[in-house]
Structure 1
Amino acid sequence: MAKTSDFPTLTADQLGDELLKLKKEQFNLRFQRATGQLENTARVKAVRRDIARIKTFAQQKKRADQAKA
């Protein structure tokens, strides 16, 4: 996974790929929690926050591109 400090330097496609990867991880974590197999419960919160960060950076890039056009 990319570091949070790397998010502003990623392209929109790379942010989308990272978002997809995190959403898949979140899905898997939910199933692990439901079946009682989840070891690291803090990871659920971390993934949710990373998803929010990526969405924020993607929105900022989109607005910046619109302002340039």
Structure 2
Amino acid sequence: MELDELRQMTAPDLRVKEREAREEIFRLRLKLRTNQLDNHAGYRRARRELALIMTLLGEKARGETVTTKKKAG
């Protein structure tokens, strides 16, 4: 999911996405440990998405608004 889409979500919506991401990580980890996972990149992607969601939830809890930096050049 794109960063802009996640930033537009409300905190309750992000919590739902967090729960879904945690469930997906659990399923992928189970497949990984039982040697049924062919593509390890999906596991890494799911972990990164969860980290992003948790970061955005923290920002919303603190009331921060983070703007994206544009590269000069």
After TM superposition, the score normalised by the length of structure 1 is: 0.85
The alpha-carbon deviation at position 3 of structure 1 amounts to: 2.4
The alpha-carbon deviation at position 37 of structure 1 amounts to: 0.7
Name the Cα RMSD after superposition.
1.3
Structure 2, unaligned stretches of length 5 or more? 65-73
Counting matched residue pairs gives: 64
Cα distance in structure 1, aligned partners of 2:47 and 2:14: 15
User: Between Structure 1 and Structure 2, which shows a larger proportion of helix residues?
Assistant: 1
Structure 1, unaligned stretches of length 5 or more? none
1:14 match: 13
| Cα-to-partner distance string for 1:15-36 (whole Å, 9 max, x where unaligned) | 0000000000000001101111
Report the more deviating stretch, 23-32 or 56-65: 56-65
After TM superposition, the score normalised by the length of structure 2 is: 0.81
Identity of counterpart residues, as a percentage? 30
